[in-house]
């Protein structure tokens, strides 16, 4: 039975895709219900069941012509649950269970439920998803597939052209050519470091030692960021495809996907995806009759932020305590069990099939000179439209926050945007026109990080924010090296002092000194990037610190001991 399902070549893949597409063309209506984490919390699952019931009850004849699709995150989480009706791609927002029968009824009559459409500021109704301002200014290369496929159905992915890049790479290209293509595309690591993926692959390929391992890092621990989950949960096959192509390029036969245990749905979806890919012969032995073998395993994390660091992650997969080590030898040369190990972020792998399919030049056509392609950000905090945003590199922060994000909530004043998770820094209003790419953000003292973007308004206290991040990092510090373990704790003491109104004049220089020490002397990136938040808040919001220290005032009225 299972053998029958195996796909043997690019041609059979194309035929299958064509057949599936023709099948779908027969359908009268396709309801794509977003079942991402946020929409699920708004009881999207209930909507799906209500829809199925409604169809069973009242539309027996049309039943096979109507498709209900449970998809991954569409991105516009603020207005969930979302239903998109294809082929017209009508977008309904904030749908409730009671609206279901009306939606089905009107759709089959060719009408539109107007009250569930998006209304812009002037009261105009917007029907199509792509016309909504939130989507209009994005360039959704990776995320756009999310609404077109059922994340638990490999057929859907094959229908939209999935695994064709893999077939192309394996049957028409040599591993070196694949590697060269990725290198030419200048695909930089999306996990935060921004190290070119092609170069990393090459190092692993040329490193001595067999077997070689390849790992997907989906330990997305940054608070306020959920891009990787958006992809892995909504379109797990795209990551798998990228992973297999990567494995082919570097000559690895064993891969791991390290997923946080806090994302149970992601673990589930990835496991289902692997099972289906195995059934189709896309993972396993002799993939697409090429003689190339590859197997992949899911490793669940158990709640440790520092384990997302590459050397710590490899020890965690080995089944030990996930502590980082000194990296004078990189994991690409000596990683898992001392063997060459290539480690990339989810988003990096998801980009690979697109590069192989469309070519390096297409990829370089997006973004800036040194940072090509798109980047997904999770735009959260005090902004009107929260959600996942995919934009070409080089777009300004102002565009992201005001055009896509729709400005600040409740008409408040913008204060700062925090990028790059706890390791990043804050960016004040005067730098909002900064183009977003790896190098520019680093210059401003922050970093791109994995793509968290937390917007803060005037009611956020910068001293309190810095204290919050340091506390998070101190909590997550593994305690192996002294600067990080003790330095962070001392900084927290100083912050607590300032927040209680007992700050001293010399505290500011002391904080700066400690920050420099941490930057110089810490073992891994957790410690060396931890002071970013301290340094950037000190640089751009010094007057807030001074208000706390000299006048015992918290301008944002957050620090309770200072409120009179």
Instruction: State the residues that interact with other proteins by CB under 8 A.
Output: 37-38, 40-42, 77-78, 80, 220-226, 229, 261-263, 299-305, 316-323, 378, 380-382, 386-387, 418, 421-422, 452, 454-456, 460, 468-469, 472, 475-476, 478
Under 8 Å between Cβ of 310 and 332 = no
Whole-angstrom distance, CA of residue 203 vs CA of residue 403: 41
> What are the two backbone dihedrals, phi and then psi, of residue 227, each rounded to the nearest 5 degrees?
-70, -45
To the nearest whole angstrom, how small is the minimum distance from the Cβ of residue 431 to other proteins? 19
Closer to other proteins at the Cβ: 261 or 509? 261
Closer to other proteins at the Cβ: 77 or 447? 77
Closer to other proteins at the Cβ: 188 or 382? 382
Whole-angstrom distance, CA of residue 375 vs CA of residue 139: 9
To the nearest whole angstrom, how small is the minimum distance from the Cβ of residue 22 to other proteins? 37
The residue assigned the tokens 């209900």 is 68
- Chain CA centroid to CA 262, Å: 15
Burial of 521 (0-12, 13-18, 19+ CB in 10 A): middle
How long a stretch of residues is the chain?
A: 564
Closer to other proteins at the Cβ: 236 or 301? 301
Closer to other proteins at the Cβ: 305 or 540? 305
Containing 166, the helix (H) or strand (E) segment is: helix 164-172
- The CB-side HSE value for 243 (13 A sphere, CA atoms) comes to 36
Q: What tokens were used for 336?
A: 């898992």
Q: What tokens were used for 351?
A: 């980009």
To the nearest whole angstrom, how small is the minimum distance from the Cβ of residue 410 to other proteins? 12
Closer to other proteins at the Cβ: 125 or 302? 302
Closer to other proteins at the Cβ: 85 or 379? 379
To the nearest whole angstrom, how small is the minimum distance from the Cβ of residue 47 to other proteins? 15
To the nearest whole angstrom, how small is the minimum distance from the Cβ of residue 544 to other proteins? 16
The residue assigned the tokens 């004049």 is 505
Across the strands, what pairs with 299?
Answer: 258
Longest dimension (CA), the chain: 78
To the nearest whole angstrom, how small is the minimum distance from the Cβ of residue 228 to other proteins? 9
* Three-class secondary structure of residue 72 per DSSP: coil
Under 8 Å between Cβ of 305 and 286 = no
Closer to other proteins at the Cβ: 143 or 166? 143
To the nearest whole angstrom, how small is the minimum distance from the Cβ of residue 248 to other proteins? 25
To the nearest whole angstrom, how small is the minimum distance from the Cβ of residue 179 to other proteins? 29
């Amino acid at each position: 039975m299972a053998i029958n399902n195996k796909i043997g070549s690019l041609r059979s893949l194309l035929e299958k895709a064509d057949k599936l597409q023709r099948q779908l063309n027969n359908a009268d209506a396709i309801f794509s219900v977003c079942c991402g984490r946020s929409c699920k919390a708004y009881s999207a699952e209930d909507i799906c069941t209500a829809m199925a019931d409604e169809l069973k009850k009242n539309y027996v004849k049309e039943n096979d012509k109507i498709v209900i699709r449970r998809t991954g995150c569409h991105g516009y989480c603020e207005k969930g649950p979302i239903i998109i009706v294809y082929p017209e791609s009508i977008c309904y927002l904030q749908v409730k269970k009671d609206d279901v029968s009306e939606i089905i009824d009107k759709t089959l009559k060719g009408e539109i439920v107007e009250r569930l459409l998006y209304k812009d500021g002037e009261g105009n109704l917007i029907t199509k998803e792509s016309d909504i301002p939130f989507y209009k200014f994005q360039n959704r290369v990776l995320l756009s597939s999310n609404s077109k496929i059922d994340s638990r159905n490999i057929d859907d992915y094959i229908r939209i052209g999935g695994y064709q890049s893999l077939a192309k790479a394996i049957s028409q290209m040599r591993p070196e050519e694949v590697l060269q293509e990725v290198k030419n595309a200048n695909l930089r690591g999306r996990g935060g470091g921004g190290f070119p993926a092609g170069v990393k692959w090459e190092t692993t390929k040329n490193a001595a030692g067999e077997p070689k391992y390849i790992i997907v890092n989906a330990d997305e621990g940054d608070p306020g960021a959920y891009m990787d989950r958006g992809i892995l949960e909504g379109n797990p096959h795209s990551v798998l495809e990228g992973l297999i192509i990567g494995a082919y390029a570097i000559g690895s036969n064993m891969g791991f996907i390290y997923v946080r245990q806090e994302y149970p749905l992601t673990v589930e979806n990835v496991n289902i995806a692997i099972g289906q890919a195995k059934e189709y012969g896309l993972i396993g032995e002799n993939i697409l009759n090429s003689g190339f073998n590859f197997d992949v395993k899911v490793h669940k994390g158990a709640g440790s932020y520092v384990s997302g660091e590459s050397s710590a992650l490899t020890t965690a997969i080995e089944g030990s305590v996930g502590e980082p080590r000194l990296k004078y030898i990189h994991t690409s040369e000596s990683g898992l069990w001392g063997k060459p190990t290539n480690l990339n972020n989810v988003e990096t792998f998801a980009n690979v099939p697109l590069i192989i399919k469309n070519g390096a030049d297409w990829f370089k056509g997006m973004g800036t000179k040194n940072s090509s392609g798109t980047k997904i950000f999770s735009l959260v905090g005090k902004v009107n439209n929260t959600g996942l945003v995919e934009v070409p590199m080089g777009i300004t922060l102002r565009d992201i926050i005001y055009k896509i994000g729709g400005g600040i909530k409740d008409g408040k004043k913008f204060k700062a945007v925090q990028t790059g998770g706890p390791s990043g820094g804050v960016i004040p209003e005067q730098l909002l026109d900064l183009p977003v790419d790896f190098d520019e953000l680093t210059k401003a003292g922050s970093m791109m990080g994995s793509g968290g973007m937390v917007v803060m308004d005037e009611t956020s206290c910068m001293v309190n924010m810095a204290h919050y991040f340091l506390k998070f990092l101190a909590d997550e510090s593994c305690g192996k090296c002294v600067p990080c373990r003790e330095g962070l704790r001392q900084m927290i003491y100083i912050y607590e002092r300032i927040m209680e109104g007992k700050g001293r004049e010399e505290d500011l220089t002391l904080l700066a000194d400690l920050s420099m020490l941490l930057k110089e002397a810490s073992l891994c990136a957790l410690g060396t990037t931890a002071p970013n938040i301290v340094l950037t808040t000190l640089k751009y919001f010094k007057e807030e610190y001074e208000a706390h220290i000299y006048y015992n005032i918290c301008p944002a009225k957050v620090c309770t001991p200072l409120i009179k």
